[in-house]
Amino acid sequence: MHVIRQEIQVTFSYAVYGTADLFAPGNPLLRDVVAADAAELPKKLLFVVDRGVQRHHPQLLRAIADYCRAHADALALARAPLLAEGGEAAKNDARQVTAVLEAIHAAGLCRHAYVVAVGGGAVLDAVGYAAATAHRGVRLIRVPTTVLAQCDAAVGVKNGINAFGKKNFLGTFAPPCAVINDAGFLHTLSARDWRAGMAEAVKVALLKDPVFFAYLEQHATDLAARDMRAMEKLIRRCAELHLEHIAGNGDPFELGSSRPLDHGHWSAHKLEQLSGYALRHGEAVAIGIALDATYAHLSGALSLRAWRRILHLLAALGFALWTPELGRHLDAPMHPQSIFAGLAEFREHLGGRLTITLLQDIGRPFEVHEMDFKLLADATALLHASHTDLQGGNAWISKLAHAR
């Protein structure tokens, strides 16, 4: 037998920028990002814009065109910006990916041209998937417009869409050339979308940074009241922690079975599906965090004090920690409409052995490779028993603490 073995090392480098008024002609950031990465200018740009963002910012398409004209030495608008449906519809309808691919083809974009995706996390995922598969990879710049996208979805290396009733069944690992966070887009978010993105900050704080978790606790009222300074700090620290994990844990393309940054996500992905995607991703993640924290507490791994802090913070930020889909078919774990079926789907998506990240304490995660369905049902029942008192804040948390 003859074996020829080769090791390939590839280095990726990209930056996450924070700015305001990105498309103001006097703001050189986008122009400089493109010019810094190009030997020959101008470069063709195809913009794909979330329809919801365009509705809230009706001058956006004109601003993009005016910006490219003002910086015509570096930027050439390949065609009028393409509009894409936002929300989970962006990932559930493969025709949206096809539309982006057709636009790339019709505009004659090559691998040194740029696709600029402007929108929420779902649009960025779908457009990123199209860009990564056209010519095996057209350069991508992400301009996230929601809290969740700015602090999490936009900063990583993953792109994907849903298929066969499964979250992110189709996708790629393809880093962007740059991520540009414009705080101005956050002002027009709905209350739900403002709140939903904070779930990922709670998650990464629980896994990586007890000091950041304490900051979230101290500023929960400000964050819930849409204090922009508190939110900008949340976004920056959350993005830093995600990037540090992606670059430093040795598995940026998820070749193993462990995926700590998906803490709380095994049930969140299933809840999104069971709700017909009526639940925002962040809303489902908050419920998933609460469920896993409750399970860890009932198993004896997580202290009462830490468990109460987690639930109290989520409630203080305005999250509901129960949805009817959570209580269906608890006596039949393999039922496709049972939340427990999410465990098998999560294992399949990661491959290898089931690996779930739980908490011993805030900032102290650990992994398990199986979960007790009876204990999970108890944890679900505990959240269910108390959900009607959610608006009671501390009183609700107190009831949870004494319900065990």
**pLDDT reported for residue 345:** 83
- Please tell me whether residues 37 and 158 are part of one structural domain: yes
- Please tell me whether residues 309 and 380 are part of one structural domain: yes
- Please tell me whether residues 166 and 211 are part of one structural domain: no
- Please tell me whether residues 212 and 124 are part of one structural domain: no
- Please tell me whether residues 264 and 375 are part of one structural domain: yes
Q: What are the percentages of helix, strand and coil residues in the chain, rounded to 5?
A: 50, 15, 35
Residue 35 lies in a domain: yes
Per the listing, tokens 């480098």 go with 13
**pLDDT reported for residue 8:** 84
d(CA 137, CA 142): 14
Q: How far is CA 327 from the centre of its chain?
A: 25
Supply the pTM of this predicted model.
0.87
- Please tell me whether residues 211 and 283 are part of one structural domain: yes
Tens digits of pLDDT across the chain (404 residues): 989 999 888 788 899 999 999 999 999 999 999 999 777 899 999 999 999 999 999 999 999 999 999 999 999 999 999 999 998 888 989 999 999 999 999 999 999 999 999 999 999 999 999 999 999 999 999 999 999 999 988 998 889 999 998 888 999 999 999 999 999 999 999 999 999 999 999 999 999 999 999 999 999 999 999 999 999 999 999 999 988 888 777 667 766 656 777 899 999 999 999 999 899 999 999 999 999 999 999 999 999 999 999 999 999 999 999 999 998 888 888 888 888 888 888 888 777 788 899 999 999 999 999 999 999 999 998 887 766 554 444 454 455 444 44
- Please tell me whether residues 324 and 359 are part of one structural domain: yes
- Under 8 Å between Cβ of 176 and 140: yes
Q: How far is CA 95 from the centre of its chain?
A: 22
- Please tell me whether residues 30 and 53 are part of one structural domain: yes
Residue 65 lies in a domain: yes
- Under 8 Å between Cβ of 237 and 212: yes
- Please tell me whether residues 92 and 209 are part of one structural domain: no
d(CA 155, CA 170): 19
Residue 133, domain CATH: 3.40.50.1970
Residue 202 lies in a domain: yes
Task: Give the total number of structural domains in the chain.
Answer: 2
Residue 243 lies in a domain: no
- Please tell me whether residues 197 and 184 are part of one structural domain: no
**pLDDT reported for residue 167:** 82
Residue 182 lies in a domain: yes
What is the rounded end-to-end Cα distance, in angstroms, of the chain?
61
- Please tell me whether residues 161 and 203 are part of one structural domain: no
Please give the residue range of the domain that contains residue 350: 193-222+260-403
**pLDDT reported for residue 404:** 43
